[in-house]
Amino acid sequence: MSTDVVALTKDRPDVGAVLEGLGARLQLPMAVSAHGGACRVYDGAGRLVVHIPEPVLIGVPGEIERLLGGGVQAAPPVWWVDIRAAADLADAARIARACAEELVARHGGAMWTGAGR
């Protein structure tokens, strides 16, 4: 089963820029492909590790809680960044979490991992 992580950022995130530096920080060979607002991360063997669709602006009060439950507090407006890690690759979930952490560190906000849901 794939791993989903959500970064909720205060500013519109530059996902491509975050991903470009992530491979060196994690000491993993990675290639990033960006098309429009969506990004894909491939490992050194060319396998898809993480897919990130274009971020979506959420401006409706209560929408984050409705979608994710009460575990995350984020007052709108926030940018919803869905990060999906491949199910069959050992480092995929770690890379997805690291991406969300870096997005939140750069742009402010919160992260949801689905833990405890």
Query: Domains along the chain?
Result: 3-112 (3.30.310)
Which tokens in the block code for residue 91? 């480092």
The model's pTM: 0.89
Tens of pLDDT, residue by residue over 34-61, are: 888 889 999 889 999 999 999 999 999 9
Tens of pLDDT, residue by residue over 5-18, are: 999 999 999 888 88
In whole angstroms, give the CA distance from residue 46 to residue 41.
9
Q: Tell me, what DSSP letter sits at residue 37?
A: T
In whole angstroms, give the CA distance from residue 102 to residue 117.
23
Q: Tell me, what DSSP letter sits at residue 46?
A: S
In whole angstroms, give the CA distance from residue 77 to residue 36.
22
